[in-house]
């Protein structure tokens, strides 16, 4: 993190107190901080009682073999039962679980809890017919349609861990995830809708299956396909239509309870090496923290709230705050298939108005985009139902925070800036909407039950007013349990820098009041529109192109997306100047290897890259060039003239 950023932060004078009525009726009050501080494990014990357990646990936490935690030892439960059945049994069957809004206007469906139960049972029966048993992995590659949630819950019901792969990822990305976790079945759709037109998914699955067949023949046994768009799809003998197999199944299914530590899902995320990490979440602790944080941080009142989390289910936010947390809390949610700008730039606000959404949870990049589009767009809609706003995915700059609060929230609505990660499974740092005098741009302090701190290089807690590394000092129920199939990398990546501390990879500052300001990643991980991308992963995608000899990727500041991908590429001599379309060719290649979200915004063809004497690329200097700054200290470069070559090439190109 640079010193100017540090100095500028934490001088924010504005404070927003909770509205009086929210504070008076808040789910979480200031007393929760004291209760959790007095006895953290007893506090989590009480949170786990939000769930229905078939067998109670006899120990809250087993931390005898750190960093491998066991939470709620001996407890048994079924996650799908907790998300669906128990609400129907409690008489809430007719309550809407999801107001689903398809992208084509008028293509909507309300799904009640009893309907959800029946569909989950049918899907569980269908997966059983396909041979899926507890412990088997199932990959899900879907658009934002009700069947996606049904598929996830059916897997959970059977104890078959799912791995949801974001529909924007490429066939290669899907194949590598399927191979890494050994998925036997892939659930997909013919396609989904994107900006008014059907966008195919099935061809990528066909390509991915061909790849897995080449590496591990017979691994993928079945591909279950939902018909969403009706577009033509090629058929193989592994393919089964969802409507043929699922629709005829019985609408009841007796579920089995699983151990609290039974794997619930694997979610892949980018790390500092080229290989994505399979974050493993288990059942009891994960569901406890997802339910508790959703209830507490969003002050969820299941009887009256209409909640909308805009994340795609392909990311962890979609898992914890679109599916597991909200359903465990018997929430009525909006599930939207499309983009914010189709068929018009007021689509989200129209949805808020039509469904009287009370709680909205989205990302800073979306907020900044709406700011750019202008206040007159949201002004056309009635947003008075909103009472709470949330932000996640990257630091929210104070301007965007205040705009969100004023323009979307009507000036009265608290904004909770929630810090967490795929690895943490649930929100760790956030204001509490009924308690905190929130500062725009600060995630404030850890929520009750969580121990976060900022430490220096030696691992010592820094005083107020200083910066350092963000760490978690005590285990928490929704912590990742390991990386799928790689305990060693799990220990090495998260637990080896300082003894007994989980290192999150983020830099942070404590201001004079001790409130936390998350500054962003300190490793080679970029954050583009709230999505995590690895510099190394994109570099390896670039060098896999036949014209490329070497590549260096950096994340550079971008007004809308937070960071943007910028690549420096050295071509092979045989490729000459690469040809007139070289930049487009390379951008498309990255999209094919990883997915469109990883496409570099800018690619510069350069003769050399700045390296240290030991051969490490000095990305800091490349960032200086990309952000048009004076190039910093070059004294550790093996060849200090390299930067002149790059800067010269850069100015002639622009």
**Which residue numbers belong to the known binding site?**
194-197, 317, 393-395, 417-422, 506, 521, 529, 532, 543, 545, 548
User: Is there binding between residue 561 and ligand WT7 (CB under 6 A)?
Assistant: no
User: Is there binding between residue 532 and ligand WT7 (CB under 6 A)?
Assistant: yes
Q: Could you tell me how many residues make up the chain?
A: 654
User: Is there binding between residue 506 and ligand WT7 (CB under 6 A)?
Assistant: yes
We find the least distance from the C-beta atom of residue 267 to ligand WT7, in angstroms, to be: 8
Cα end-to-end span (Å), the chain: 27
User: Is there binding between residue 271 and ligand WT7 (CB under 6 A)?
Assistant: no
631: helix, coil or strand?
A: coil
| Binding letters toward ligand WT7, positions 313-332, x by CB under 6 A | ---xx---------------
**In the complex, residue closest to ligand WT7 by CB:** 422
Element of type H or E holding 586? helix 582-593
Which residues are known binding-site members for CoA? 194-197, 317, 529
We find the least distance from the C-beta atom of residue 421 to ligand WT7, in angstroms, to be: 4
User: Is there binding between residue 335 and ligand WT7 (CB under 6 A)?
Assistant: no
> Which residue number, 170 or 269, has a Cβ lying nearer to ligand WT7?
269
Q: Which of residues 231-270 bind ligand WT7 (CB under 6 A)?
A: 269
Among 268, 419, 476, 568, binds ligand WT7 (CB under 6 A): 419
We find the least distance from the C-beta atom of residue 186 to ligand WT7, in angstroms, to be: 23
Q: Which of residues 456-495 bind ligand WT7 (CB under 6 A)?
A: none
Specify whether the CB–CB gap between 383 and 349 falls below 8 A: yes
Q: How far is CA 397 from CA 362, 391, 417, 439, 449, in A?
A: 14, 11, 10, 11, 27
Specify whether the CB–CB gap between 645 and 568 falls below 8 A: no
Q: Judged by CB under 6 A, how many residues of this single chain contact ligand WT7?
A: 23
Q: Residue 66: count other Cβ atoms within 10 Å of its Cβ.
A: 11
Largest Cα separation within the chain, whole Å, is: 74
Q: Which of residues 371-410 bind ligand WT7 (CB under 6 A)?
A: 392-395
> Which residue number, 171 or 392, has a Cβ lying nearer to ligand WT7?
392
We find the least distance from the C-beta atom of residue 364 to ligand WT7, in angstroms, to be: 8
Among 378, 505, 555, 610, binds ligand WT7 (CB under 6 A): 505
Among 9, 223, 504, 603, binds ligand WT7 (CB under 6 A): 504
Q: Which of residues 508-527 bind ligand WT7 (CB under 6 A)?
A: 518, 520-521, 527
Instruction: Give backbone dihedrals phi and psi of 282, rounded to 5 degrees, phi first.
Output: -110, -175
> Which residue number, 114 or 426, has a Cβ lying nearer to ligand WT7?
426
User: Is there binding between residue 420 and ligand WT7 (CB under 6 A)?
Assistant: yes
Q: Exposure of 42 by Cβ count < 10 A (0-12 exposed, 13-18 middle, 19+ buried)?
A: exposed
Q: Residue 602: count other Cβ atoms within 10 Å of its Cβ.
A: 17
Q: Residue 293: count other Cβ atoms within 10 Å of its Cβ.
A: 28
Which residues is 417 bridged to in the sheet? Answer: 391
Which residues is 48 bridged to in the sheet? Answer: none
Q: How far apart are CA 317 and CA 322, in angstroms?
A: 7
We find the least distance from the C-beta atom of residue 534 to ligand WT7, in angstroms, to be: 11
DSSP secondary structure of 391-453:
EESSPPPHHHHHHIIIIITTTT--EEEEB--TTT-S--B---TTT--B-TT--BSBPTT--EE
The residues binding ligand WT7 (CB under 6 A) are 269, 316-317, 392-395, 417-422, 443, 504-506, 518, 520-521, 527, 530, 532
């Amino acid at each position: 993190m640079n010193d100017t950023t540090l100095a500028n932060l934490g001088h924010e004078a504005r404070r927003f107190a909770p509205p009086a009525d929210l504070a008076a009726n808040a789910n979480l009050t200031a007393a929760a901080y004291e209760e959790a501080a007095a006895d953290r494990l007893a506090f989590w014990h009480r949170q786990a009682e939000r769930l229905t357990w078939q067998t109670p646990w006899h120990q809250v936490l087993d931390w005898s073999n750190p960093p491998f935690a066991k939470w709620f030892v001996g407890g048994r439960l079924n996650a799908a039962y907790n998300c669906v059945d128990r609400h129907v049994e409690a008489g809430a069957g007719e309550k809407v679980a999801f107001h689903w809004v398809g992208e084509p206007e008028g293509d909507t469906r309300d799904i009640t809890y009893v309907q959800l139960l029946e569909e989950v049972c049918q899907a569980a029966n269908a997966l059983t017919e396909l041979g899926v048993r507890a412990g088997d992995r199932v990959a899900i590659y879907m658009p934002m349609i009700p069947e996606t949630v049904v598929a996830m819950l059916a897997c959970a019901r059977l104890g078959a861990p799912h791995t949801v792969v974001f529909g924007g990822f490429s066939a290669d990305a899907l194949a590598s995830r399927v191979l890494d976790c050994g998925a036997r079945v892939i659930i997909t759709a013919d396609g989904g809708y994107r900006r008014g037109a059907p966008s195919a998914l099935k061809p990528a699955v066909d390509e991915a299956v061909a790849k897995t067949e080449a590496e591990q023949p017979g691994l993928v046994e079945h591909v279950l396909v939902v018909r969403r768009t009706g577009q033509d799809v090629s058929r193989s003998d592994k393919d089964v239509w969802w409507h043929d197999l699922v629709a005829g199944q019985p609408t009841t299914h007796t579920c089995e309870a699983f151990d609290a530590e039974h794997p619930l899902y694997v979610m892949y995320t980018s790390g500092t090496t080229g290989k994505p990490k399979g974050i493993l979440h288990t059942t009891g602790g994960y569901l406890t923290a997802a339910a508790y944080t959703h209830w507490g941080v969003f002050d969820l009142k299941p009887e009256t709230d209409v909640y909308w989390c805009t994340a795609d289910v392909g990311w962890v936010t979609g898992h914890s705050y679109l599916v597991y947390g909200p359903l465990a809390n018997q929430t009525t949610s909006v599930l939207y298939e499309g983009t914010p700008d189709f068929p018009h730039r007021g689509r989200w606000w129209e949805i808020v108005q039509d469904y009287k959404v009370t709680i909205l949870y989205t990302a800073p990049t979306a907020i900044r985009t709406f700011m750019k589009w202008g206040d007159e767009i949201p002004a056309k809609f009635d947003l008075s139902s909103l009472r709470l706003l949330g932000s996640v995915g990257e630091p929210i700059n104070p301007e965007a925070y205040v705009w969100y609060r004023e323009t979307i929230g009507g000036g009265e609505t608290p904004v909770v800036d929630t810090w967490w990660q795929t690895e943490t499974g649930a929100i760790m740092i956030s204001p509490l909407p009924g308690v905190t005098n929130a500062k725009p741009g600060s995630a404030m302090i850890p929520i009750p039950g969580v121990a976060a701190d900022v430490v220096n290089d030696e691992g010592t807690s820094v005083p107020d007013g200083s910066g350092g590394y963000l760490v978690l000092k005590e285990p928490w129920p929704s912590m990742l349990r390991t990386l799928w199939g790689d305990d060693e990398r799990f220990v090495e990546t998260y637990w080896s820098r300082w003894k007994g501390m989980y290192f999150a990879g983020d830099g942070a500052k404590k201001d004079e009041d001790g409130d936390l300001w998350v500054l962003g990643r300190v490793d080679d991980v970029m954050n583009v529109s709230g999505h995590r991308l690895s510099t190394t992963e994109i570099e390896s995608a670039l060098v896999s192109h036949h014209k490329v000899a070497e590549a260096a990727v950096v994340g550079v500041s971008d007004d809308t997306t937070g960071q943007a991908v910028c690549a420096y590429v050295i071509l092979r001599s045989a490729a000459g100047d690469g040809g007139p379309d070289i930049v487009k060719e390379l951008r498309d290649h990255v999209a094919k290897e990883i997915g469109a979200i990883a496409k570099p915004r800018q690619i510069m063809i350069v003769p050399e890259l700045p390296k240290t004497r030991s051969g490490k690329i000095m990305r800091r200097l490349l960032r200086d060039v990309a952000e048009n700054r004076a190039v910093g200290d070059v004294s550790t470069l093996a060849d200090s003239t390299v930067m002149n070559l790059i800067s010269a090439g850069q100015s002639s190109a622009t």
